Amino acid sequence: MSQLTFARAINAGLRKALDNDPKVVLMGEDIGKLGGVFRVTDGLQKDFGTHRVVDTPLAESGIIGTAVGLAYRGYRPVCEIQFDGFIYPAFDQIVSQVAKMHYRTQGTVKMPITIRVPFGGGIGSPEHHSESPEAYFTHTSGLRVVSVSNPQDAYTMIQQAIASDDPVLYFEPKRRYHDKGEVDEALALDRALPMGSARVAAGGSDVTLVAYGPLVKTALDAALAAADEGVSIEVIDLRSLAPVDYPTVEASVRKTGRLVITHEAAQSGGLGAEIAASITERCFNYLEAAPVRVTGFDVPYPYSKLEMHHLPDLDRILDGVDRALGRPNSLSGLEG
C-alpha cells in the first residue's frame, strides 16, 4: 500500500500498462516533457521514449483519428484530451469511427483505445475547462464510459480500460487530482472489481444516493452529515457510466425504496434521467417516492464566481435526499 494523489495513481497505472504491453502508446498535447497540464503523465516520456509517449500537434480530431489508425495496426493508444471542453473537435472521430468500427467490421477490427478526459468543474477555470460531456458518450453505443472517484480506482481502472478490447472514455475528476488515498499497486487486475461494476461506497438503509467521479466524495460527506440527523444514506459509486451496473443500483433501491442521483452535468437528457427511468422500469414496485435528480443546471458552464451555485454540493444533495424522503425541503408545497 502506498499513499498516492489521484494524479500520481493514474500515472502509476499508465506506467504499469506501458511496462506490461509494448503496444500501449500514450498520445496527447503537452504530455511529454511537460507531463501534461495536470502532470498526470509526468516522467513517462523520459522513461519510455518519444515513440511510446507522443506529444501530438494541437488537433484533437487528429489525435483520435491517428489513434484509430494505430489501433488498426494493433496498437493500444491512450489519448489524453487536455480538457473536457476540447473533446468536441474529436467528437466525429469518436462517434463515427471509434465507436462504430467494431460493429462496422463485424468484429474484425478492434478499437482498444482509451480516451482520458479531465472533466468537471470546481477549479475556477475559464470557459471550456469545466464541462461534463459524459452523456454525449453514454448515448453512443460502441463506447464504454467510466469515471473514477478515488486513487485506487484511478490506478486499477486506467489499466482495465487500456486492457479492454473496446474503446473506453475515462473521465478523471480534475478537482480531485490532488486528493490522496491508499493505493495497492500490487492488486492484480483480474482480482480487482471489474471495470463495469458499481461499488457501494457507504452502506445505508433509508435512501440510495448514486454518484460518480467528483461527486462521490461530496456524496460521502453528505451521507456523514445525514447520519447526524439519523438518516441512513447508501452511496453508490457508479464507476461505469456505460453500461451502468443496474443490478447493484437495483439491489440498493429494493432495500431503501428511494433514489437520488447526482452529477455535475446538466439535467436534461443526462445520465440521471436515464438512471431514474431505468430504475423506475426495473423496480417500480419497490419505490416509495419518485427518483430525485440533483444536478448542474441546464445552462452553459457558468463563470467561476457562479460555479458554486451550478455544482451540486453537500447541502443541495441533502435537500434532494429530503425530497426523496418526503421531509420538508426547498420545494415543499410545489406540485411536481
Partner 1 sequence: MLTDEAGRGANQATEPANNVQNPRRTGGDLVQLLSPSGERISHPEFDLWISDVSDEQLCSFYEDMVVIRRIDAEATALQRQGELALWPPLLGQEATQIGSGRALRSDDFVFPTYRDNGVAYCRGVPVPDLVRAWRGNALFGWDPYRYNIATQQIMIGSQSLHATGYAMGIQDDGADSVAVAFFGDGATSEGDVNEAMVFAASFQAPVVFICQNNHWAISEPVLLQSHVQLADRASGFGIPSMRVDGNDVLAVLSATRIALDRARKGGGPTFIEALTYRMGPHTTADDPTRYRDPNELEDWAAKDPIARLRALLDRKGLLSDELEARVKARADAVAAELRNGCINMPEPAPLDVFKHVYSEENSWIERQKDHYTRYLESFSGSAQEGAH
Provide the annotated active-site residues. Answer: 129
Least distance to partner 1, CB of residue 64, Å = 8
User: Quick one: 197 or 205, whose CB is closer to partner 1?
Assistant: 197
Q: How far is the CB of 28 from partner 1 (least distance, A)?
A: 13
**Nearest distance, CB of residue 53 and partner 1, angstroms:** 12
Closer to partner 1 at the Cβ: 109 or 306? 109
Write out the three cell numbers for 101. 468500427
Which residue blocks in the chain are alpha helix, DSSP H? 6-20, 44-48, 60-72, 91-92, 101-104, 134-138, 151-163, 215-228, 246-256, 271-283, 307-310, 314-325
Which of 243, 300 has the CB closer to partner 1? 243
The x, y and z cell numbers of residue 30, run together, are 503537452
User: 3-state class of 114 per DSSP?
Assistant: strand
The minimum distance between CB 163 and partner 1, in angstroms, equals 10
Binding site for partner 1 (CB under 8 A): 25, 51, 56-57, 59, 61-62, 64-75, 77, 89, 92-93, 96-97, 100-110, 141-142, 144, 164-166, 196, 242-246
Phi, psi of 306, rounded to the nearest 5 degrees:
-105, -5
Decide if 111 contacts 102 (C-beta within 8 A). Answer: yes
Cis-peptide, bond into residue 243, ω within 30° of zero: yes
Q: Which is nearer to partner 1, 61 or 267 (CB)?
A: 61
Specify whether the CB–CB gap between 208 and 258 falls below 8 A.
Answer: yes
